[in-house]
């Protein structure tokens, strides 16, 4: 392995070990995308009803 690849691997390994040892970082890594997804879905889930395109088509429109 050449010197540049070895240096990159060493830094990657160090950061991976550091990441796995810090529980808070792991929780934040997983929770942040889920939080954004939850916010996005909750904000835009009712958007179709406001514009008259909501529902599954089972209910007649007035």
Distance CA 58, CA 49 (A): 14
Q: pTM of the full predicted structure?
A: 0.49
> pLDDT above 70 covers what percent of the chain?
71
Please report, for the chain, the start and end positions of each structural domain, with discontinuous segments joined by +. 3-46
Q: Is 30:37 a contact under the CB 8 Å cutoff?
A: no
Mean pLDDT of 24-53: 81
Mean pLDDT of 1-27: 92
pLDDT at residue 18, rounded to an integer: 93
pLDDT at residue 53, rounded to an integer: 56
Point out the least confidently predicted range of 11-15, 28-32, 33-37, 55-59.
Answer: 55-59
């Amino acid at each position: 392995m050449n010197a540049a690849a070895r240096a990159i691997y060493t830094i990657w390994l160090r950061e991976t070990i550091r990441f796995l040892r810090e529980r808070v970082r792991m929780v934040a890594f997983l929770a942040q995308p889920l939080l954004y997804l939850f916010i996005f879905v909750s904000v835009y889930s009712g958007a179709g009803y406001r514009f008259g395109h909501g529902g599954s088509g089972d209910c007649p429109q007035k």
